[in-house]
Structure 1
Amino acid sequence: MARRKLSHEGTLVLDSEGLSKLLDDHEAAVALVAEARRRGMDVAISALTIIEAIHARTDRARLKWLLSGLRIVPINDEDAKAASDMLIGAGLHGHKYAIDAVVAEMALRQQRPVVMLTSDIDDMVKLCGDRVRLVGM
């Protein structure tokens, strides 16, 4: 399997699918996170990503272990307002896009370059433009 190249330093952001794939020990997700760490990149998730990614069958011990190695970015009222503005700017609205907007807004505040592991390429392009490199899962 060919490895995808990541930049030195910067931040790798996982959306809910990225975290889910990591929880499921998905080979490509594990390899990308390992490569990011090897290159000195920070690996971060939004606090809301935890809520979106888990379900009744989630291995809670594995989740706790994985989260201990990730930087969990809290979301405050200013971040929520900025995410709302991003939704409006992208012509999106509603609960379907709410967490995507929070994750996108959080990603834009991280140390550059920013790479995001996501299943929502189309929505994230609308929200982030070319300011975040998107890697599809």
Structure 2
Amino acid sequence: MARRKLTHEGTLLLDSEGLSKLLDDEEPVVALVAEARSRGMEVVICALTIIEAVHACTNKARLSWILSGVRVTSVGDEEARAASALLMESGLHGHKYAIDATVAEAALRQRRPVVLLTSDVDDMTKLCGDRIHIVGV
């Protein structure tokens, strides 16, 4: 995972791969989340990220513990429309990019600066442009 210097305050947002690696207790992601918290950053995930990251073998107790320590953003009508607009602006479309667009939309409305931990660096760059610091996982 590429390391980017975290700032003080702001937001660290995790996509499904970030959440999955946190659930699997992978040291680089655990360390990045801990560093973000120590710097006063809020750790956030989009509600749809839970759906994308959780599977039959997910440790439910660990999932509950992790979710208790992050803020989960909702996806309602307004957020869905904004995510749809991001898809149109970026030239992406269809169900393949729907959750990425909702994660990008969630990132764009967080307290700045925002660091997005993602496995989809190219797609998230298309959706967020240079408004968000994107870190590959």
Band of TM-score, shorter chain: over 0.9
Alignment-derived partner of residue 23 in structure 2:
23
Correspondences of 1:24-43 after superposition (within 5 Å): 24-43=24-43
Query: In 2, distance between residues paired with 1:134 and 1:27?
Result: 19
Residue 129 of structure 2 corresponds to 129
TM-aligned CA deviation for residue 3 of structure 1: 6.1
Q: How does 1:1-137 map to 2 (within 5 A)?
A: 4-137=4-137
2-structure distance, mates of 1:3, 1:11: 16
The superposition leaves residues 19-56 of structure 1 with CA deviations (integer Å, 9 ceiling, x where unpaired) of: 00000001110000000000000000000000000011
Q: Could you tell me which amino acid in structure 1 is paired with residue 51 of structure 2?
A: I
Aligned equivalents of 2:113, 2:136: Cα separation in 1: 17
- 2: CA distance, partners of 1:63 / 1:12: 18
Question: What do residues 109-131 of structure 1 show as CA deviations (whole Å, max 9, x unaligned)?
Answer: 00000001000000000000001
5+ residue gaps, structure 2, are none
Question: Number of matched residues?
Answer: 136
TM-score w.r.t. structure 1 length? 0.97
Q: Aligned partner of 1:84: which letter?
A: S
Unaligned runs of 5+ in 1: none
User: 1:4: how far off?
Assistant: 4.1
Contact 1:4–1:32 (CA under 8 A) maintained in structure 2:
no
Deviation at 1:5, TM superposition (A): 1.9
Q: Is the 8 A contact 2:45 2:70 kept in 1?
A: yes
Q: CA deviation at 1:107?
A: 0.3
- Percent sequence identity over matched residues? 72
